[in-house]
Amino acid sequence: MLKRPFEKLVNKAVLLTGGAGFIGSHLAEALVTIGTRLAIVDSLDDFYSPSLKRSNLRSIQQRGPVEFYETDICDWTTLRSVVSKFRPEIVIHLAARAGVRPSMQDPRLYERVNIGGTFNLLELCREFHVTRFVFGSSSSVYGATNRAPFVEDEVEMRPISPYAATKLAGEMVAYTYANLFGLEVVCLRFFTVYGPRQRPDLAIHKFTALIEAGRPIPIFGDGSSGRDYTYIDDIVSGILAAAEYGYDEHSGIRFDVFNLGNSNPIKLLELIESLEAATGQRALRDYKPVQPGDMLLTWADVSKAARSLSYRPSIPFTEGLKRFVTWYRATDASHKLSFT
């Protein structure tokens, strides 16, 4: 349920990349509900099951009209044809190759999609005079920082995975286009988003599946690492606020960065205990060595987003877990993780 009307977005032409994914599909439903003219670009890649993404698309289409283009953001010719035809006023760019650990196995793929694909979209924004570019970044860009909670004006950015490095590069490229071509840019650093439709490889989804199947949960390290888990509805509200964020006409370079988190880090062992409570089942624990590239802590300072975007996360962690477990248990068996 939307927290406010977002009237400034009504009838706006919005191009959403990655709209069939977890965050994108929830955002797409909200944009259709608001009354935008929405086009989705998604390649339906096989990072995880394309059937899940097609299911997400069907849910979106039940809310209202949407144009869908099965297009890779790295395919310049096809992507340019989509933008030329649709003529968006706002581009919300969520499409990316995701995942810290997979990025260490194939960093060149992450560079091609996350940096090259972002360049393509920014260049098309310049060519077709798009007004606003909203970029889905990540808390991982903070990397090995010693200052917590994380604040947007941190200058010692030391990303510790190829994925994180590509997201930080995307922010820098977006700044360049704001500086050179007057594009309005808002970069959003998402902090561990969870909720219905979450990617199967992410902790809450994977751990729930393992608990339900009676399988052990892998715990990398001693379980003291913390994540700032943020419920999907709160993230969607933050993205919508960024899409209608009003830059002052005399503000110079129209570029800004906001954390979208919950500002309440949860330790890994606490997460598992909370999932035990939400599922009513005991989790088996399998301790393993710490994995390279994993951050020990993510913790968002959201005071800037609160001031400028009226961003106020409202879904308590335990409530969000209950909603996720309810969704997971109602999900078609063919869309669940297989352990055979």
Helix (H) or strand (E) holding 284: strand 284-288
* Active-site amino acid positions: 163
Average pLDDT over residues 300-326: 97
Q: Could you give the angle at the alpha carbon of 244 between the alpha carbons of 240 and 134, nearest 5°?
A: 65
Tokens of 143: 């990397």
Does 89 map to a domain?
yes
Closest residue by Cα to residue 100 from 60, 65, 141, 149: 141
How many structural domains does the chain have? 1
Q: Is the pTM of this model over 0.85?
A: yes
Does 251 map to a domain?
yes
Q: What is the pLDDT of residues 35-45, one digit of tens each?
A: 999 999 999 99
Residue that has been written with the tokens 């035990």 in this structure: 276
Does 170 map to a domain?
yes
Note whether 137 and 186 are within 8 A (CB).
Answer: no
pLDDT at 146: 67
C-alpha 113, offset from chain centre = 15
Closest residue by Cα to residue 315 from 222, 236, 201: 236
pLDDT at 248: 75
Give the domain CATH number at 85.
Answer: 3.40.50.720
Mean pLDDT over all residues of the chain? 94
Q: Which domain holds residue 28?
A: 11-193+231-261+300-313
Does 284 map to a domain?
no
Question: At residue 11, does pLDDT exceed 70?
Answer: yes
Question: At residue 231, does pLDDT exceed 70?
Answer: yes
Closest residue by Cα to residue 308 from 181, 152, 193: 152
Closest residue by Cα to residue 9 from 312, 299, 240, 297: 240
Note whether 245 and 174 are within 8 A (CB).
Answer: no
Residue 336: pLDDT band with limits 50, 70, 90: low
Q: Could you give the angle at the alpha carbon of 181 between the alpha carbons of 109 and 190, nearest 5°?
A: 45
Q: What is the pLDDT of residues 164-223, one digit of tens each?
A: 999 999 999 999 999 999 999 999 999 999 999 999 999 999 999 999 999 999 999 999
Does 207 map to a domain?
no
pLDDT at 255: 96
In this structure, how many other beta carbons lie within 10 angstroms of the beta carbon of residue 300? 29
Q: What is the pLDDT of residues 98-146, one digit of tens each?
A: 999 999 999 999 999 999 999 999 999 999 999 999 999 999 999 977 6
